[in-house]
């Protein structure tokens, strides 16, 4: 289905929105790691609880206690790694946002029948629709995923676009991609 190309320009770089979108991307990408760390923590503390329940003064060595302690240490390492990665990522995003604010990073999206073209002061990227795998509506964002990778996905905020443009963008994307739920 052919449609009239849509051009979306963002003037006056919005640092707060940029940081917010980057943190949402990070949270979505890290969701699997967080679920894994949560499961390991539950198992670890369950093992410790069972070890304490079956504790007997007659036995000096309790393998469940040792296993539970190792599992708790492993879960602490996992969780601290996630927290450290988030802090590092947040600092890098703030530095990038400050840089973009200094140079007043304007950008433009041109959505056509063949591709989505992104242009800013540093780069020009033109991606055919075939490299985009799905789209999703998440919170107040339209997300267009590039190769199943949410870290490099395009995010369009309903707050940054007028209703007509946002709805037209959704209609165009629906003709090109399948909708998916972000869990």
- 81-95, 101-115, 147-161, 162-176: least confident range: 147-161
130-160 pLDDT per residue, tens: 999 999 998 899 999 987 778 889 999 999 8
Q: What is the mean pLDDT of the chain?
A: 89
pTM listed for this prediction? 0.76
78-89 pLDDT per residue, tens: 999 999 999 999
Q: Are 128 and 119 in contact (CB under 8 A)?
A: no
51-63 pLDDT per residue, tens: 888 776 677 777 8
Spell out the domain ranges in the chain. 6-12+106-178, 15-102
pLDDT > 90: percent of the chain: 61
Per residue, the 3-state secondary structure of the chain, as one string, reads CCCCCEEEEECCCCHHHHHHHHHHHHHHHHHHHHHHHHHHHHHHHHHHHHHHHCCCCCCCCCHHHHHHHHHHHHHHHHHHHHHHHHHHHHHHHHHHHHHHHHCCCCEEEEECCCEEEEEECCCEEEEEHHHEEEEEEECCEEEEEECCEEEEEEEEECCCCCHHHHHHHHHHHHHHCEECCCC
Tokens of 2: 């052919």
Q: Which CATH architecture has domain 6-12+106-178?
A: Roll (2.30)
């Amino acid at each position: 289905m052919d449609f009239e190309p849509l051009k979306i320009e963002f003037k006056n770089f919005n640092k707060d929105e940029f940081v917010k979108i980057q943190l949402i991307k990070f949270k979505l990408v890290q969701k699997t790691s967080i679920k894994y760390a949560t499961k390991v923590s539950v198992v670890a503390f369950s093992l410790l609880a069972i070890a304490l329940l079956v504790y007997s003064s007659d036995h000096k060595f309790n393998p469940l206690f040792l296993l539970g302690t190792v599992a708790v240490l492993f879960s602490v390492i996992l969780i601290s790694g996630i927290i450290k990665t988030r802090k590092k990522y947040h600092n890098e995003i703030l530095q990038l946002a400050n840089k973009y604010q200094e140079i007043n990073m304007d950008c433009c999206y041109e959505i056509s029948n063949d591709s989505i073209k992104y242009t800013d002061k540093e780069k020009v990227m033109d991606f055919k629709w075939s490299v985009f795998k799905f789209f999703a509506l998440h919170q107040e964002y339209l997300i267009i995923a590039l190769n199943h990778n949410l870290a490099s996905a395009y995010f369009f905020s309903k707050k940054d676009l007028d209703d007509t443009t946002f709805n037209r963008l959704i209609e165009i994307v629906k003709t090109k991609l399948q909708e998916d739920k972000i869990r």
